[in-house]
A and B are shown apart, each in its own frame.
Chain A
């Protein structure tokens, strides 16, 4: 990916190459920073037509990957832009309010909203499970994430109208914090896939969590942490499932959070030490002052007890 087609005999980039570069920068922007990156890329490309082509491709990818949350125009709540709710490139489904929003990806706003029609919605049977889980999850998310949003989608078997058939859900939790004046941004994303296995009377739970943070005051430091886990719970009534699934999610996410804290606690004294110690084993600064020109090396070696 580092080969952008740069050749010493022919330094001119083709339009396609310029567009690919623009797209790369945009899709790799840190969470919450795509508009700043967009401004820079636009200036660098210096060709609005090409930039718009790249942005038209890059913004939807970024928005979906980062589970960007947008306010719905009728103020009925927020919608998460994700591949699970994608009807087509510019239209996304919000399961809670049963609406479809039209999105302007580059401006990151919703432009229209309409109610979903019957074919777009899950069956009443599936919806019972979805609704109960959504309610429990909302409680969890409101309790746990100061600025979090969640959604429950039926990803398979939405027309299942009674027991006896399997169906799948996807749970998405998205929380982000942008503080550009403090040069700090971050986001938490978790995606939980739930397989309701009617034959086994079990729900298979798989989770993927990703936390990123970026601090860039006179420097550039980024955290990228990921985790995956699995669990399972009994398939019961919609209400009981909702409680046990959301408890499972709560448990694993809390565990992950604790292990992140652990990683940070170990940083200064153990992890970082493998890169560079705070002080040499002698616990004193390096003896530079032994600077008789030629015997410098010999004296230091002797002082530090290094065999020569």
Chain B
């Protein structure tokens, strides 16, 4: 597994799907470990009943069908597919509605889905997903991107309430790829994938959705900045090391 994970860190994120399916073929006995550890671009299905798209992941899957957070039904239809409890479903619906607005504010388009399920212990867990196609032909408002995708997966484990507080453990993964095309600059493609964790103890009185939402917002901001400044910045540094620009050219990254 160590070798497999090292390979996933080296192969270009753009080829992640091919790499993962190769690893699954070589290590069939490790398939569940691989699927949970390796990040993959998100897939989407159409909920025909509500006429909305929803995102697929392990947490809304049962057999080969996926549950839509809008209609709470499985596609393709599945008899006795597992459903969240009434209480969970209520929270899940509210989360989906609020998160859709959050998504619109930051992503100006895209698709989001939230899934919740009860934990073995006293708490519960939730998975917030966002998929954005920022290309000119997709939801890219300004037309800069020939191709661009942003996939975010946030999994939060919420512990049982103690003294009015609950422990929230967030694991976030962002995968992105962007390609610009222009006469003088040919094609320019940056692709990346990072994963981080955040733990907080917050007052339950503020509301679970509020608490989780704030954590996600903070995390996404950090990841976006990190990708932009540190990660992409490092690749830029490498280019300047390979072929240093002439003296007098502004090299500092903008604040």
Contacts and interface: CB of A to CB of B under 8 A. Distances in A.
B132 A2 contact: no
Interface in B110-167: 132, 134, 140-145, 148-150
Contacts of A304: 101, 105
Contacts of B26: 13, 18, 21, 44-45
A272 B224 contact: yes
Interface residues of A, number: 97
A2 B7 contact: no
Interface stretch (B8-16, B50-58, B65-73): B8-16
A221 B3 contact: no
Contacts of A84: none
B232 interface: yes
A223 B28 CA distance: 31
Contact of A44 (B4, B182, B186): B4
Nearest to B16: A220
Interface in A276-291: 276-282, 285-286, 288-289, 291
B22 A24 contact: yes
B234 A215 contact: yes
A220 B8 contact: yes
A5 B185 contact: no
Contacts of A188: 239, 242-243
Main secondary structure, interface of B, reads helix
A63 interface: no
Interface residues of B, number: 90
Nearest to B236: A264
Contact of A186 (B6, B11, B150, B238): B238
A16 to B, nearest CB: 12
Contacts of A148: 243
A4 B232 contact: no
A227 B180 CA distance: 12
A68 to B, nearest CB: 15
A119 interface: no
B234 A274 contact: no
Given A219-B193, A274-B144, A278-B221, A13 B25 contact: yes
B191 interface: yes
B248 interface: no
Contacts of A199: none
Interface in B186-236: 186-195, 206-207, 209-210, 213-214, 217, 220-221, 224-225, 227-229, 231-232, 234-236
Interface string A22-41: 00110011100100110111
Given A222-B13, A227-B185, A275-B148, A36 B6 contact: yes
A142 interface: no
A29 B10 contact: yes
Interface in A202-246: 209, 211, 213-216, 218-228
Contact of B145 (A13, A275, A301): A275
Interface in A284-303: 285-286, 288-289, 291, 293, 296-297, 300-301
B170 interface: no
A97 interface: no
A269 B255 CA distance: 11
Contact of B194 (A218, A262, A264, A271): A218
A220 B13 contact: yes
B22 A4 contact: yes
A280 B106 contact: yes
A11 interface: yes
A187 B97 CA distance: 46
Contacts of A267: 190, 228, 232
Contacts of B249: 258, 261
A90 interface: no
Nearest to B5: A40
A272 B223 CA distance: 12
B82 interface: no
A307 to B, nearest CB: 13
B33 interface: no
Contacts of B188: 223, 225, 260, 263
Given A213-B239, A291-B206, 14 more contacts: A1-B18, A11-B28, A28-B11, A36-B10, A184-B234, A209-B186, A211-B242, A220-B192, A222-B192, A225-B186, A226-B187, A227-B186, A274-B142, A293-B94
6 contacts: A144-B243, A184-B234, A211-B239, A220-B8, A221-B227, A275-B145
Interface of B: 3-4, 6-15, 17-19, 21-28, 94, 97-98, 101-102, 104-108, 132, 134, 140-145, 148-150, 176, 178, 180, 182, 184-195, 206-207, 209-210, 213-214, 217, 220-221, 224-225, 227-229, 231-232, 234-239, 241-246, 249, 254
- 8 nearest CB pairs, A to B: A227-B186, A221-B192, A219-B194, A280-B105, A259-B185, A186-B238, A213-B235, A291-B207
